[in-house]
Structure 1
Amino acid sequence: MPSLAPTLYIFLDEGGNFDFSPGGSRNFTLTCVSLYRPFTLHTALDTFKYDLMEHRVSPRIAMEYFHCAKDNRHIRTRVLDMLAAAVPPRSVDAVIVTKNKTGPALQAAEKFYPRMLGYLLRYAVTNAPGGVGEVIVITDSIPINRKRKAIEKAVKITLANMLPEGTPYRIMHHASRSHYGLQIADYFNWVIYRKWERDDDSAYAMVASQIRSEFEIFRTGTRLYY
């Protein structure tokens, strides 16, 4: 018999890079937005997108999608205002990794990414306010390279071990421009990453009530090796 509990959709985005040398980013952030249907914000974002197209405000041809780092200040402020008004409070969680505290054995992307993702999703699912019948995780498309299959396999194994027992889940990879959920996650991750990487919380303050947790993996200063 199918579960009566709702499906929890988790949209993911990341900030920083996998370069653990001094030339890489100081932090790596992994942010998720947990939402249940109906997605009421999508209509407002769609209306705003077409307004920008008609008034030629956007610098990008046809205003194909929202991208926080590329959007101008006018667009960014308007979208953040909509997120603050329509995204339920405490729907956003993030894992913050100070990269120079990461042990060498964990620095390979196929080990690092699944482990951090597992911590994040376990917390998000465990603390979901409306119950969970199934978890559908949607990420941006993973670039096609030799590590893609290894990362995807490791993610599935890690989630099977870290999610609450008996929780069914699926992982999907969609282009961010095709889904407002991923664009929303991009905005939240941008403000969180900017807060930690550049000590700038001006945009973060606009949506602070939507952010439930920012877990700093190495807050005690102890390296995680495996």
Structure 2
Amino acid sequence: MPDRFIFTDEAGCFTFNKGQNVSRYFILCTVLMDDYEIAADLLALRRQLAWDGFELGDGFHASEDKQAVRDRVYETILKRPFSVQATIMEKSKAQPQTRTDKPRFYQYGYFYHFKHGVTKFLGADSEVLVTTASLGTRKERLAFENAVGDVMRQTKKSKAWKADFMPSASDPCLQVADYCAWAVMKKWERGDLRSYDLIRDRITYEYDLLSAGAHHYY
């Protein structure tokens, strides 16, 4: 069994133009844990909320949950230790060759996210399971695995690692990543710090990858 667990999610849309309901940023988020006991806490919370009469979806999903549910989720997850890493990409600054398709953009973003944001928190003897919310195609999954694999080989920060893909609704730990990604996105897109402030002290890495870019492509 691995001794470190990484759960990943994204926030923002994969649309490169300006328009209504189009996000300015695309955010990659990871949550690093030493165990997955938080999953049992969230399952217990779900049962309690169902008993209390709350309307619930297939799993906790920050953008869809009512504020009363979000409050309870944050209260629950913050009782357990975990750290958060976030890479922010202002999409209009992304050079066209980095966004020719979705897999290319994933590989570009995740490579730098893991290289600078994640591996520094892994020991050389760590065995790591990286679980990500299901990506849409086999090509997207391969791009993710290639990006993480390249970083692990270059940094030699992990003894062994494996990638797993599953729907967010099937793993409560992925729902933690969803809630953290949403909180970071609310800060960057709208300047809304309500949820961000709750996880602020858990964030060990938050970086605007394209901040040096001066040119906007749209």
| Match of residue 111 from structure 1 | 104
Q: 1:182 aligns with which of 174, 177, 181?
A: 174
Paired with 1:43 and 1:114, the residues of 2 have a C-alpha distance of 32
Distance 1:154 1:46 in 2: 31
Q: How do residues 70-219 of structure 1 correspond to structure 2 at under 5 angstroms?
A: 70-88=64-82, 91-107=83-99, 108-128=101-121, 132-143=125-136, 148-163=137-152, 164-165=155-156, 167=158, 168-219=160-211
Aligned equivalents of 1:160 and 1:16: distance in 2?
A: 24
Partners of 2:44 and 2:144 lie apart in 1 by 36
Q: Deviations over 1:29-59 (max 9, x none)?
A: 010001112x2322322221111111212x2
Q: Equivalent residue for 1:33?
A: 31
SS in 2 for 1:68: coil
Give the Cα–Cα distance (whole angstroms) in 2 for the partners of residues 55 and 213 of structure 1.
37
In 1, Cα distance between equivalents of 2:52 and 2:24:
39
- 8 Å contact kept, 1:195–1:201: yes
Unaligned runs of 5+ in 1: none
Q: Which amino acid aligns with 2:108?
A: R
Deviations 1:131-159 (A, max 9, x none): 6522211111222xxxx222222223322
Moved over 4 A (4+): 129-132
Shift of 1:223: 6.3
Alpha-carbon distance between aligned partners in 2 of 1:223 and 1:213, rounded to the nearest angstrom: 25
1:84 Cα deviation (Å)?
A: 2.5
SS of the residue aligned with 1:17? Answer: coil
Contact 1:67/1:186 (8 A) holds in 2: yes
* 1:45-101 alpha-carbon deviations (Å, 9 max, x no partner): 2221111111212x23xx54211111111110111122233233xx10010000110
Q: In structure 2, what is the equivalent of residue 44 of structure 1?
A: 41
Q: Which runs of 5+ in 2 are unaligned?
A: none
SS state of the match for residue 121, structure 2?
coil
Contact 1:138 1:174 in 2 (8 A): yes
CA offsets per residue over residues 146-199 of structure 1, 9 Å max, x none? xx2222222233222222237322111111111111000000000001110111
TM-score (norm 2): 0.87
1:20 aligned to which of 2, 16, 19: 16
TM-score where L is the length of structure 1:
0.84
Residue correspondences, number: 211
Identity score, percent: 28
The alignment status of 1:9 with 2:5, answered yes or no, reads yes
**2: CA distance between counterparts of 1:211 and 1:29?**
14
Question: Do the aligned residues in 2 keep the contact of 1:7 with 1:132 (CA within 8 Å)?
Answer: no
